Each structure stands twice: as structure tokens, then as C-alpha cells.
């Protein structure tokens, strides 16, 4: 298991049948229960996935969203991509070509860059001010 700050990257096993899902959840379970979990699942090794595997992914997503976190899928093998499309869940997940992109996506709008005491529309008005000045 690799970690990058508060973002956890985990490699999903090659085969995701009921048994493997159980083992994987043993490892992933505690992470799901942390505060604002940010998880990247690396699916590059996946060759076979049963519906139990897809259900596990959906369960993980549900759990992290409940705790204000996020789950992203990275480096999907063609097999994983086909299975997720087949089971109509490919659009539910945010997917990335590789783990680096997935990690970077968590930093796309760093929380610390947005002043907590200014309203959300402040930036919009600031940009508008710039436009007015230019004209």
C-alpha cells in the first residue's frame, strides 16, 4: 500500500471474486471509516471481476461520500473498463489514466487556497472586477 499524504492509493487484486473482495475489504475497511477518506484504487492489474467486485466498489464510494471524502479509480485495465461499462457503473466513478493524475485531481482546488471567511461568490466578483477594468 502506497500513501501520499492523506491520499491513499491501493492496488486492486487481479481477480475480484467474493473471496478476494472479502480479503480486500479487510484491508480497505478501516480507511473507509476515517475522517474525509481520500482513496485512489489502482485497477491496472484487474483481469476478472464478478458482480461482488462491482458491488464492493459501489459500497466503498458510498462510504467515502458519506464521510465527505472521495474515491477515484485509476489506470483501469481494458478488462476492468469493459466490466464496469457492462454493469453500467463506469459513469458513477471518476476515472483517471494513471494514479498520479488521480492524486493530482484531489488537489485541483486546494481547500486551503480558498479563504474560509469569504463567501463562495467572492472569486466570481473579483474576476468580474478584472474584466471591467480591462474594458
Partner 1 sequence: MLGAIIIASDQSRQVQGDRFIASPGSELASWAAVEVMGKASISRLADALWEVCDLVSVIATLRDRRNGAQSQSSLPDLADECFASYKRKGCDAVLIARCGAYFELDIATMLAFHQERGLEATRAFVDDGPLDVWIVDPSVVSGYSWVCSPSACARSAVYRSQAYANRLQSARDFRRLVLDGFHSRCHLRPEGAEIKPGIWVCEGALIERSARIVAPAFIGRNVQISDECLITRGSNVESDSHIHFGTAVENSSILPNTYVGIGLDLAHSIVDGRNLINLQHNVSLQITDPVVLRESAARGRGRKLRTDIESGMAMSSAE
Residues that bind partner 1 (CB under 8 A): 17, 47-48, 50-52, 78-79, 81-83, 85-88
Indicate the length of the chain as a whole number: 135
Minimum distance from residue 89 beta carbon to partner 1 (Å):
9
**Residue placing its CB nearer to partner 1 in the complex, 91 or 132:** 91
**Residue placing its CB nearer to partner 1 in the complex, 98 or 126:** 98
Minimum distance from residue 21 beta carbon to partner 1 (Å):
12
Distance between CA atoms of residues 97 and 75, nearest Å: 5
Our measurement of the distance from residue 92's CA atom to the centroid of its chain's CA atoms, rounded to an integer in Å, reads: 11
Distance between CA atoms of residues 94 and 33, nearest Å: 20
Distance between CA atoms of residues 40 and 52, nearest Å: 19
Minimum distance from residue 88 beta carbon to partner 1 (Å):
5
**Residue placing its CB nearer to partner 1 in the complex, 2 or 25:** 25
**Cα atoms in the 13 Å half-sphere on the side-chain side of 37:** 23
Minimum distance from residue 11 beta carbon to partner 1 (Å):
20
C-beta of residue 83 within 8 angstroms of C-beta of residue 52: no
**Residue placing its CB nearer to partner 1 in the complex, 56 or 103:** 56
Amino acid at each position: 500500500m502506497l500513501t501520499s499524504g492523506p491520499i491513499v492509493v491501493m492496488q486492486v487484486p487481479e481477480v475480484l471474486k467474493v473471496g478476494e473482495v472479502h480479503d480486500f475489504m479487510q484491508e480497505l475497511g478501516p480507511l473507509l471509516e476515517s475522517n474525509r477518506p481520500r482513496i485512489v484504487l489502482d485497477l491496472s492489474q484487474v483481469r476478472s471481476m464478478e458482480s461482488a467486485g462491482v458491488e464492493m466498489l459501489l459500497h466503498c464510494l458510498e462510504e467515502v461520500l458519506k464521510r465527505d471524502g472521495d474515491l477515484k479509480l485509476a489506470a483501469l485495465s481494458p478488462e476492468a473498463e469493459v466490466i464496469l461499462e457492462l454493469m453500467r457503473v463506469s459513469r458513477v466513478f471518476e476515472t483517471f489514466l494513471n494514479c498520479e493524475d488521480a492524486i493530482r485531481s484531489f488537489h485541483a482546488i486546494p481547500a486551503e487556497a480558498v479563504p474560509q471567511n469569504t463567501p463562495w461568490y467572492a472569486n466570481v466578483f473579483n474576476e468580474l472586477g478584472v474584466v471591467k477594468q480591462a474594458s
